[in-house]
Structure 1
Amino acid sequence: MTDTTPGWLTRDDLEEARARMPVLYVEAVPVRVDDSGEVTSIGLLLRIGSDGAVSRSVVSGRVLHHERVRDALLRHLEKDLGPVALPRVPAALQPFTVAEYFPTLGDTPFHDPRQHAVSLAYIVPVAGDCRPRQDALDLVWFSPEEASSPMVLNEMPGGRGTLLRQALAHVGRLS
């Protein structure tokens, strides 16, 4: 069945596009901040992969054709964190890093066996009640020290542990 939502590709068309060109993604590391703006906790999603493995991840998803990056970021934040997460996307939409995911291991720290993807990564403070939806089982809040522990980072496949370390370093919270 073909999804008729504008901007979405059929499963076959998506497979073909992934085989021919990089796909643009956004990723967001949800954080809680104190009154001075310092990061106090990091939210990581708990997911079950197609292979049945449980892993941790950040908010992530494709940017649709003719969709602004800001709109894609907000759409994926709502999809993964729920409608009352109250994300505060910065006015200047400068990512803290650009991650390139390759289908071959070793080209970069980031790996996605399905495709070559380019991801704009953001740190997004959230102030509301986060209740995971879609394919996420749970959202767990970690202190920056806990989030940077080898135990947590090793639960993040595809290089997302590296992405989380970069986010923590960006906000001065890498232990």
Structure 2
Amino acid sequence: MSARHLGWRSPAISPGPELQYPLAPNRNNHWPSNVRILIVSPPRNAGAAQRVGLILRHSPYGEVWCHLGGRIQRGETIADALRRHARETLQIDIELALEPQPVDVFQWFPAEVAPDDGTPYGDDARKHAIGLSFIVEHEGAPTPQGEALDFAYFSLDELPEPLWPGCGRLLGRLFSAGPRYSRKAPT
């Protein structure tokens, strides 16, 4: 695999054991992994369509709708990162297992380093990120703050426009697989 496909900033750099960049936090103390929180609403009645909660936010693509999420800070557990993003963005508490496991792993690339081998990915002009996706339920009424300009639930067949590039693809992957993606934490 070439350095280009590993997300290196320069194709002239080839990874070696002495180079710590891919595993070290960036200058803001963030690791290269992101958590993606897909908030779902409980069906109102049997047979009701699943709805997913999305935030409206400013982005390099203008104002777009997307899933909640962000970076994992150095020393932070995945569960702590998920809870922090939910509280900071929507002032809600989410239901999680002690050690939550992602239901999907999805990559986001800037165009100049995006794979050309058919690998599915989302677009992110700012960075190459590995997104760990979690489907959760929440307690409390979502109140947008910080990066969230708005929050709303949408059925999967009536997603808003514009979506963050790749967000629709991610939602399709997560919710088309059926029972594989369980929302409830194991007890």
Same fold (TM over 0.5): yes
Percent of aligned positions that are identical: 26
Match of 1:58 in 2: 67
Matches within 5 A, 1:108-147: 108-147=120-159
Distance in 2 (alpha carbons) for counterparts of 1:117 and 1:78:
22
The count of corresponding residues between Structure 1 and Structure 2 is 149
Match of 1:43 in 2: 53
Distance in 2 (alpha carbons) for counterparts of 1:39 and 1:33:
9
- TM-score normalised by L of structure 1: 0.72
Alpha-carbon RMSD across the aligned residues, in angstroms, is 2.9
* Consecutive unaligned residues in structure 1, runs of 5 or more: 1-7
Q: Deviations over 1:51-99 (max 9, x none)?
A: 6x221011111001111011001101111111xx231124551211101
Distance in 2 (alpha carbons) for counterparts of 1:35 and 1:91:
28
Could you tell me whether the CA contact under 8 Å between 2:35 and 2:131 is conserved in 1?
Answer: yes
Q: If you compute each CA radius of gyration, which structure gives the higher value, 1 or 2?
A: 2
Match of 1:97 in 2: 104
* Consecutive unaligned residues in structure 2, runs of 5 or more: 1-24, 180-187
Match of 2:81 in 1: 72
Distance in 1 (alpha carbons) for counterparts of 2:43 and 2:36:
22
- Cα 1:65–1:91 change in 2 (3 A) is closer
- Cα 1:134–1:68 change in 2 (3 A) is same
Distance in 1 (alpha carbons) for counterparts of 2:123 and 2:34:
14
